[in-house]
Structure 1
């Protein structure tokens, strides 16, 4: 089997998402996805990656992964090159599954569990879409549906927690500190603002007590003293973890935070490749390892990072606040990794616009995700995407293949 073409697909209203289809001479097509910087990733895939891959055997997954993330064309960061490599890798695993008629989780080593617990990232329908605002408040705009959870955690986080529990979801993630980081540059938080940002945690505990695990997302927006000040305020509410409390550029500083904050540390969706995660683990800077399959190097690298974390006795919780293909790939990984404890999800996404984009959605019941049954990823892009009149489709092929 040989790779004959690379095809990228984008929709203008979802310009953060890039889909990649890798075509072969046997008629099989592998599907990949990555997120953010989609225009630049598409250009790089066609100009630099396609000439390297067309004509190669798509089942040489490890060799291609090494080529794209460790040689002269690769860079150990989560920028354009790494996102392109991640999309390629997901598509190659999808092809592997289709060629062998096996789901990806089986090819990774099989199921470690029959289902995995999910937590709800409390985003709304437009969060992370092209042109959407990431930081909104209770009065910013009207709800577009029942799951405008980012507005809800500003208005009444206790009621939001109760609504999640009614669906069997017993863990949630919120980020009420972000607006204050935007205002101050992340260098200072006033006591009055700290109290305002702590209100959702107080509402959750007052309404549902300890029935809900609460994660706090800090988006790497704070310096060390400010992050520690926030941690002191959070301690009474017993958050499950503090995610990306500072920028992930200094493992020593993160280790200081881990030692002094009194909170478990989760890191980091922004980190790529085993080498960077190894530094965090060696320094004792992370209690929970979070990776993003579309940013860290793909499923191949994610599996290796997860196994390395297991050697350090650290659990893994794959990140997902992206698109439905990465969501599916992450579920396959989380079902396989023995040390996976959560798979992130966004109910505003999987209950609405995800369903327009792919042919199959995962089974989600009682706060748990269940494995896909089909070969490869177990889903395809829907006709809505492939036949959309505004779709931006680019294809690079070689005439002799």
Structure 2
């Protein structure tokens, strides 16, 4: 047996969207999980709903635990607080499984298909997606804002995208993702983009092509900000720029009919969606022929257990997958293990600004990149732990659940 004896959540005020979960067992092992957005809500679900069910159970029964937590009375088939909590639990259980057997998670999943996977750099900055702004934490860039360091890439793509592409190529990256069209959605609530705004939003893509030609792949992030009509106009305009994908182009990424209709009207490949929870929405999108590339976030979709089912669906439909991370370091490590294991994985998302700075302050180990390729971790489990200093921070909030 490997009985679960304690659940511990940790969050810090500096990164209010992030929450970590440590699961302890009577073997003396500690598994680490993570989720992102609505940390207070996830914390409540873990201690008030999950803990009474989980404490005392055998941590080796990952599939059974996942099935129970992924079918709550409310909150299933979405990235709800219930599913985000289930995701954190599942990542911690897989971490435990790898540690117990002394093998990395990609081996515990059934083995690696590849020993490295290509990275693309999401061109966020040092503070992107870390706060509690009205945009859910996505930090807007003011006109003329100065860069706060060499990797303030969101400011860079708005000011000189060509120079940014050259910088990325010099470090071995061969793919990048930008979102210069976001600022034009507010005026109409995403229902209309004018020709003037469209041309302005496409300019960074043109500067990249002018600077480096076809030596770098470019992804267009649309952040679910647009109606179908506006998204079609944007995706058609992107066709001649050779973008690798348009990501989350419409407001409701579980709307299989609308997304399939959009995909029929453009040659730009459609990618989606980190925002979906559980395998059923992905099944419906794939069955509707609505996606070219499957993106999933293991801290939101149900963890590795559900993630590999989504990957299997993608494989059955001959679609590539690309695990998401613009959120936290444990999610990044988990996504990497899936990207190494899943046959159709083509990319692992990274943010070089966070890899170089605050991710390092939170965990002991991060993925190793060589020439734009992310290397397979070799340590048991997920291959990383929280830094001891995280628990002793003055802004840390720690909550525990134990039997009785």
Corresponding position of 1:116:
117
Cα pair 2:320 2:345 within 8 Å, conserved:
yes
Instruction: Mark the CA change 1:25 to 1:74 in structure 2 (over 3 Å): closer, same or farther.
Output: farther
One of 218, 221, 225 as aligned partner of 1:217? 221
Instruction: Quote the offset at 1:182 in angstroms.
Output: 2.1
SS of the equivalent of 1:389 reads: coil
Q: Which moved more, 1:226-235 or 1:296-305?
A: 226-235
Instruction: Quote the offset at 1:138 in angstroms.
Output: 5.8
Instruction: Quote the offset at 1:317 in angstroms.
Output: 0.5
Corresponding position of 1:65:
66
Corresponding position of 2:84:
83
SS of the equivalent of 2:163 reads: helix
Corresponding position of 1:239:
243
One of 161, 166, 172 as aligned partner of 1:162? 166
Corresponding position of 1:105:
106
TM-score (norm 2): 0.97
Aligned equivalents of 2:73, 2:67: Cα separation in 1: 10
Corresponding position of 1:370:
375
SS of the equivalent of 1:228 reads: helix
Instruction: Quote the offset at 1:195 in angstroms.
Output: 0.9
Matched, 1:142 2:146: yes
Matched, 1:300 2:305: yes
Corresponding position of 2:187:
183
Aligned equivalents of 1:96, 1:140: Cα separation in 2: 49
Aligned equivalents of 2:254, 2:62: Cα separation in 1: 29
Instruction: Quote the offset at 1:231 in angstroms.
Output: 1.5
Instruction: Quote the offset at 1:271 in angstroms.
Output: 1.2
| Unpaired stretches in structure 1, ≥5 consecutive residues | none
Instruction: Quote the offset at 1:76 in angstroms.
Output: 1.4
Cα pair 2:75 2:81 within 8 Å, conserved:
no
SS of the equivalent of 1:13 reads: coil
SS of the equivalent of 1:227 reads: helix
List structure 1 segments (4+ residues) > 4 angstroms apart after TM superposition: none
Corresponding position of 2:317:
312
Matched, 1:289 2:301: no
Instruction: Quote the offset at 1:4 in angstroms.
Output: 0.9
Corresponding position of 2:254:
249
Tell me how many residue pairs correspond in the alignment.
399
SS of the equivalent of 1:9 reads: strand
Cα pair 1:116 1:334 within 8 Å, conserved:
yes
Cα pair 1:189 1:226 within 8 Å, conserved:
yes
Cα pair 1:138 1:154 within 8 Å, conserved:
no
Instruction: Quote the offset at 1:36 in angstroms.
Output: 0.4
Corresponding position of 1:26:
27
Matches within 5 A, 1:7-46: 7-46=8-47
Instruction: Mark the CA change 1:7 to 1:73 in structure 2 (over 3 Å): closer, same or farther.
Output: farther
TM-score (norm 1): 0.97
Aligned equivalents of 2:357, 2:386: Cα separation in 1: 15
Corresponding position of 1:207:
211
| Unpaired stretches in structure 2, ≥5 consecutive residues | none
Instruction: Quote the offset at 1:137 in angstroms.
Output: 3.4
Corresponding position of 2:346:
341
Aligned equivalents of 2:68, 2:43: Cα separation in 1: 18
Corresponding position of 1:359:
364
Q: CA RMSD in A?
A: 1.2
Cα pair 2:17 2:132 within 8 Å, conserved:
no
